[in-house]
Structure 1
Amino acid sequence: MKKSRRYTITAKGAAIILSFCITTSSALGFSGGMLVSSYAGKTGLEENTAANLFLTQQNEAYLTSASSGNATLSVAEVAALTANSVVEITTETVTTDSWMQQYVTNGAGSGVIVSSDGYIATNNHVIDGAGKISVRLKNGTVYEAKLIGTDGKTDVALLKINASGLTAAVLGDSDSLMVGQTAIAIGNPLGQLGGTVTEGIISALDRELVIDGKTMTLLQTDAAINPGNSGGGLFNDKGELIGIVVAKSSGSDVEGLGFAIPCNAAKAVIDELAAYGYVKGRVDAGMTFLDLTTAQKALLYGVRQLGVYIQKVDGGSNAEKAGFQAGDLITYLGDTKISSSAVLTQALEKYKVGDTVKITIVRNGNTKQLSMQLEEYRPD
């Protein structure tokens, strides 16, 4: 039989036990309150706040990754970081037909926010000739944009909208890229699918292409590119902008050939456009040229010989003063034989503003050599 024992608690012992109980109860109550508060806070977040929290977490992940140097992000993380930096662009252009009737044509493309106060980079061909340019942000807000400057040679244009606090793209270093690295394109394919994200790799560096008579050095990627992507962003796996999407090779048997202007080259042009509205130091021949490469084209313009013709001479230009006329066939610039407008453009780029060039032409069957001083290109 087990005997029961009695214990006597002194006043001092009772005080110690009471104190312990109070302390323990307070601690548990505080912890429980914090836990309940935390749970209530998480379950009671509104949708917008939850989205902002997610983006904050992704930005923290990006900063951690960027500081570590070699760490990378998933495509989903890159998309979350950069989605607000890419915009949709729509344009309206007034065109006059052969019956002197005017009608409005619409165009669409993409753009990349390059500063939080509303500067947006895109392609020159996206906005070329547009009478009205509209920009739609990721959140659906639409602004009318002002054209700050454009450069036809690099196909870069700079727009400005009246907005602040925007999410600007983080600039990467296109000179440090390697073939095989991840490339993520974000843009507005077909002009209707804004915010589309496609993934691929850098397929080639320093790819030289002739686009609209201009020789351009571009990045090549197999990320899906479609009409409407032009002017959008090409990002690496750190969420950094590495290029401005510019073109896709088209054809029924062509897939996986997209191209972008390297960000380092684009930045230099954007800085010039922001400061002056054009790129200083570009030579201007003061003439518009036309490639006649087929007999059908030559017949259409009433000439017999194929080649590069002067389509228009700018009024008041050095070319007009030197005696050049529309319809002249250009055969040589200096010692360079001219077979296309691309060859002519490349030959002109070897000269500086103020240099005098000799150009050989054929007019009415007669060969002439005219000299002119090259001017600086300044857009109207």
Structure 2
Amino acid sequence: MKSRDRFAFSLWLRVFMLLLLTVAAFCYAMFQGGFVSWFLFYAFSPYALYALLFALVPLRATAKRTLQHTRLKAGDVLSVDLEIKRTNLFPYVYVILEDDPPDTFHLQEQIEMKRMIFPWFRKTWRFSYQFNDIVRGEHQLTAVRIKTGDMFGFVEKEVILPLEKTLLVYPKMLDIPVESAASVNENGGKAVHSWLNEPTNVTTGVREYKQGDRFAWVDWKTTARRGQLMTKEFEQNQTKDLVVFADFTDEAAFETIVSMAASVLQTAVKKGVPVGLVPLGDQHLFRVDQGEWHLQDMLYYLTKVQYQPSRAPDYQSLTASEHQQTGKYVVTGHLQEELATILLGNRNRKNITVLLVKRAVDRLTAKEKQLVDRLKASGIYTTLLFEDRLHERSVR
């Protein structure tokens, strides 16, 4: 409220100065006389009159922001269209339209989110802008700013139109090559193993379709016969359940770890595998379940999660009783002795896959190489992901 009062005071102070200049020009013409003095007064008068009317006529407008894509992933292009409609026909010489980016965009360079237009009598103003590499997260777009003024800047106006919009940018999904166990054995482990390709469920019957069921489970023959959507019922094989343990304590590879965790979850759900998510060093826990709604809950968490320096990994969650018979994907940026010891102590080592994320090959320490060899010798699948190469190299 105080800022609005200060703006109103500044506006009327400028109007007073404008009137004072107009009176001064008239007095100069009266006392000086001659063509030049009167020419200056008459030449100045239209601009002064426009500025005075500009100050008196309120700027009322409505704004509409349109996002060309509402479901985005990190690295995508965000295209935004702004449309401003005003309610009067007062001629505006220039207008600056601006849509300020939220702090969560973490812009590395100046992005042009404003534009100057010369509308005059036009009632609808439009402009578009785009980001070429949007970052993951939940972003709040709050308002559109309109700035305008007269020809010489005697009077200026600024209007802020509230226009709230929540933008969710999901983690970037990476292609995970999944091969059967036989292919891994024959080819020396060129890809992430494994049992994700094997059937996890045995059909035992059909039931009515429920919200959250995948369309891949629809029994189309029974649906056509009964005239309503029917889905298959499965006998759950608990040994095929998957839990993703994501280590979010490494700042250097944080974003890639988030992307890898999201990619594994999405791949598992597409294959009908019941899946859960355990962030190491965080209190959030997503128990093993299946279906698109469960996947969306986990992706929403991965969209909002941020690096916290105070977070420490809790590797003991890997030994929890409810995770003993499940498959485990461990996504981490640094392989430590404590983590390797816990993994080697697991009885079902063939159901464990470790995704070790590094920025470059030279970031892999000698100690980590030793631990990788120990995991390989014990039968634990270990995949090395190097960000600078943008591809995976697997060993077993």
Common topology (TM > 0.5) = no
Higher strand share: 1
Give TM-score, length-normalised by structure 2. 0.25
